[in-house]
Structures are given as C-alpha cells and as structure tokens.
Amino acid sequence: MNGKLHSETGAFSSDDMRAEILNPFVHKLELDNTYDKIKTAIFTVILLPFRVIVICYLIVTAWFLACIGLYGLSEEDLRRKPMTGWRSKLRFSILSLMRLVVVAAGFHRVRVLGRQHVPSNSREAPVVVMAPHSTFFDAIAIVCLGAPSVVAKADTARLPFIGQLINYTQPVYVWRDDPNSRQNTIKEIIERATSKEDWPQVLIFPEGTCTNRSCLITFKPGGFYPGVPVQPVTIRYPNARDTVTWTWEGPGALKLLWLTLTQVHSSCEIEFLPVYYPSEEEKRDPKLYARNVRDVMAKALGVPVLDYTYDDCRLIARAKQLGIPCAASAREVSEIRGQLGLERSGLDLHVARGGLAGGGTVRRWLGPDEFAQRLGVPLSARTQRLFDIFMQRSSGLLYFPDYLLSAAFLALQHAPLTQLLAIAFKLYASGGGGRVNAAGFEELATRCLGLCQEDACNTFRQADLDEDGYLTYDDFIEYAQKKAEFSFVFACDTSHHKPKAQ
C-alpha cells in the first residue's frame, strides 16, 4: 500500500476465508511530523500558485478547443456515431494539452507497462477495464489511453470546463437515479462494442466507486454483457505519501488536490495486461466474466478480492451521516451478522427493541464471552471480530447499546428513521418507559440523528417542555414535527403528520 494509510482492518471474503485487508472505503492522511508540515507550507507558497495557474490555463485552452469541436453537435449526435474529419483530428490537440496538465500537476513519472491495443485495433479489445478506481487523478490514465469513451456518472457532464472535455470523448453516461439507466447503459456499451464503425474504445471502472486500493471490490457486470474481449488495465500510485486516494471516509477532494500539488513530484504506474478472451460460459454469464477478470487483475496487483459494491458505499455514507457507531465498518458488520445467523434470527434486533434500561453498567459494558452469550452465538473468530469492531480501546470492553443500535440500523435500513429512533430511546434510556436524561439523549442524538454534542444539548433543553430532566420518544417526536431541521426524521414515514416548520 502506498504512503501512510491508517485504516480499519479485517473482513471476510466470499469464500468464507478470513482476509486480513484494509477497509476499502477508509483512508486517513495526516501530516504527522514537523518536516512534512514545513515542506508543505513552503511549497504551498512557492510551488502551488505556479502549478494552479499553468493547469488552469491549459484546461481552459483545452476546454475552448472542445467547445469548438462540439459546436453544432447535439447529445444525440454524440451518441449516434463517432466523430470524424476535423473534429476527430482536434482530439489530438486537446489530448496534448491534457498531457501537459498531467506534467504540470507534478506527475513527471507516469510509467506505462505492457502493450495497449490502440484504437486502430479496438475491435480486438473494444472495452478497456481499469481498476482499482481510487481517485479523480485516475483521469491520468484516461489521458495516457488516448481519451477513450468513458462510462461516467451523468453529473460529470455539468462540471465546469471538465464536463466539455469529458463530452469530447463521447462518453456513456450513467443516470443513477433513473431505474432504466442500467439497461440503457448496457445497451449502449453493447452497441458500441459490436459496431463496425470506428468508435473509440469504451473505458469502464467496473468497481463503480473509489476505494483505497487495498483490494478489488465487486465488478459491475455492465461492461461484460457484450461478451467481447476486454483489455484489463491496472493503475498504481507508488509514492512515499499517498495524497491521491479519495474514499467515502477520509480527506476531501480539495485537501488531496492541495497536498498532491505541493509534492515535488508524484508517480503513477499503468499496466496493460493481455487481452482477456471470454469463454462461451463467460459470454452467457456476465457476472462470471466480471469475477474472472477481477481475479486476473487482483493477481497482477497482488491484492485480495472482496464482494463489496456501490450499494455498500451508500449504506456506509448513510450510517456516517446519522452517526451510527462504527459506520465505516457497516458492511462488514452486516456480513458477519449474516454469517452468525443473526440476520435470519433477528435476536439482536429483538434485544434492541426490548431495551436495556435498568440494567446498569454490568449489562451495557461487555467482554467477548458475555457478548457472545448475549447474542446467543458461540465465541468464534467471527464473533471476536464483531466484538473487536465495537470494542473501546481504553477499556477493552464493548458498549452493548452501540452494537445493538448498529444492528438495528442494518436490519431497518429501508424502514423510516422513526423506527430506529424509537429503539434508540430504549437503548439509551436511564430508567423505565424509554425515558432518557440529558446524557442519554446526547448519546442517541449523536449516534442516530447526526447531531453534534452542543446541538444535542440545545435540542434536549428545548424539547423538555415540562423541565423534568427527561425526554420520551413521544416528547421528541412532538417537538421535532414542528422543526424543519428534523424533517429528515419523517421521510417515507406515513405514521406521523408531515412536520410543519416553525
């Protein structure tokens, strides 16, 4: 793994064997010594402005040429047939400018291994499969491949300047909110891959989202439906410090851009693997085809595979937004619960709905043996891993309400948030009847309402109308229905009146 990366470890692979790997959706990057901080500060002043000015100039110039090349063409024209004549030749000028952008960004060392099947031979490998997808800097590979048609989110078309440059590759856009988008995308890839016209190669990032390159997650089968040969391409960033990885939990895009542009130089390595020719069985089963190509690429990269998907990313993002304990490990927790039979039995959800009020600290803080006993499962490697995820490092114990809240979130992820909130009031109650004091409300509000500590305290004071120092679920619901900021609590919930803003 490149650079200094702190991530949560441990997951189970699809073959039921333990894979000691990094959580693929977590990347933490810190300037943890004085030398790095001083160096970054100096280059922020003397190097960053120069690079930004040069990059902006080159991108604006390339955008201007792209606007000329796209003038008079509708979206339908771009999808119907490949560019020809002067428009096609203009692609070379735009591509040259983008290669200069790569150099200006500090990537002086883009090492290319293997042999690319160039556009003139694209019928031999009309689809290029690239992985792992870990950053917006993967656009470097697009430039090095000669600007093939990318499969990208439709939102990218609206990006300032970059949108027009992507449009010039005649991309296949994916509308994730459109229920027919998947079928339309597959249809368009098939049409291009099997067309006799001189379309550019279609480039797909089959993982569908960014990871930290610790493994290859599930490949989406869309690019494999045509059943045509594909060329796998791997991408690495062999730098001393990993300033490029952009995941669901970690530095934002601006911080990564800043830290990368203040490096003296950065490296990127692109490897073209031999063209993969599908068997008849793989042609009939795109998912099998995708898995087998992933295995080949994982072997070349020297990393394991893990059956994580884009939907898992959305689950993690939702958990993180609400403040669910150990949100980054939500996918792993879900998988272990399934392997332990807890998803099927619903035992932990039943315990959560019953609440823990009146049990004292003995029932809330558990060791591994008692944790397994409370779940009704044997203490195994999987149970121990589940315990380790939620264990408080300072005490070596697990706070049982936190685990039960996470389990309830996973079991009720498609249910209204009010159902999870009702359970939370029972889990963090300080007495019978689901009554929580200020400290208990702070716990549940920061864990399933996404509130900070200060906002939780203010909300408690305002909702405690009788000033008895306690809140019930009904008390909070009555208060929240009058506040616009809590309207998200009632989304998709027909059991309560629509909240009216105050």
> Is the separation of the CB atoms in 62 and 165 below 8 Å?
yes
Alpha-carbon distance 155 to 167, whole Å?
12
Say what the pLDDT of residue 134 is.
Answer: 93
pLDDT digits (tens, 9 = 90+) for 152-201: 777 777 778 888 888 888 888 777 666 677 777 788 888 887 777 878 88
> Is the separation of the CB atoms in 331 and 308 below 8 Å?
yes
> Cα(first)–Cα(last) distance of the chain, in Å?
51
- In DSSP terms, 204 is beta-bridged to 129
Q: How far is CA 45 from the centre of its chain?
A: 32
Burial environment of residue 187 by CB neighbours within 10 A (0 to 12, 13 to 18, 19 or more): middle
Say what the pLDDT of residue 122 is.
Answer: 47
Question: What helix, strand, coil percent values describe the chain, rounded to 5?
Answer: 50, 10, 35
Q: Which amino acid is at 479?
A: Y
Backbone angles phi, psi at 198, to 5 degrees: -85, 65
Q: How many CB atoms lie under 10 A from the CB of residue 103? A: 14
Say what the pLDDT of residue 5 is.
Answer: 34
- Cα 107 to Cα 139, 165, 502, distances in angstroms: 12, 20, 53
Alpha-carbon distance 497 to 502, whole Å?
15
Q: What angle do CA 269, 271, 275 make, to 5 degrees?
A: 165
Residues of the chain with pLDDT under 70: 1-22, 118-123, 176-179, 357-362, 431-433, 492-502
Say what the pLDDT of residue 495 is.
Answer: 53
443: Cβ contacts below 8 Å, ≥ 6 apart: 401, 428
Q: What angle do CA 74, 77, 78 make, to 5 degrees?
A: 95
Backbone angles phi, psi at 232, to 5 degrees: -75, 140
SS3 for 44?
Answer: helix
> Is the separation of the CB atoms in 232 and 201 below 8 Å?
no
Q: Find out if CATH 3.30.1360 is the number for domain 9-308.
A: no
Report strand pairing: 172-174 vs 149-153. parallel
Report strand pairing: 230-236 vs 267-272. antiparallel
Give the start-to-end residue ranges of the domains of the chain.
Answer: 9-308, 312-490
Beta strands in 237-356 (DSSP E): 267-272
Kindly state the greatest CA–CA separation across the chain.
Answer: 79
Q: How many CB atoms lie under 10 A from the CB of residue 76? A: 7
| HSE of 183, CA atoms in CB hemisphere, 13 A | 3
Cis peptide before 278 (omega within 30 of 0): no
Helical pair 347-354 and 417-427, crossing angle rounded to 10 deg: 70
Say what the pLDDT of residue 17 is.
Answer: 32
Where is 409: in which H helix or E strand? helix 400-411
**Tokens 């149970």 appear where?**
383
Q: Which of 101, 99, 109 is nearest to 53 (CA)?
A: 101
SS3 for 255?
Answer: helix
Q: Which amino acid is at 337?
A: R
Cα Rg of the chain, angstroms:
26
Kindly write down the DSSP assignment for every residue of 348-392, as one continuous string.
HHHHHHH--TT-HHHHHEE-HHHHHHHHTS---HHHHHHHHHHEE
Alpha-carbon distance 260 to 44, whole Å?
10
Alpha-carbon distance 393 to 377, whole Å?
23
What size, in residues, is the chain? Answer: 502
Helical pair 48-70 and 85-104, crossing angle rounded to 10 deg: 170
Cis peptide before 226 (omega within 30 of 0): no
- Cα 347 to Cα 118, 350, 376, 408, distances in angstroms: 57, 5, 8, 11
DSSP label at 469?
S
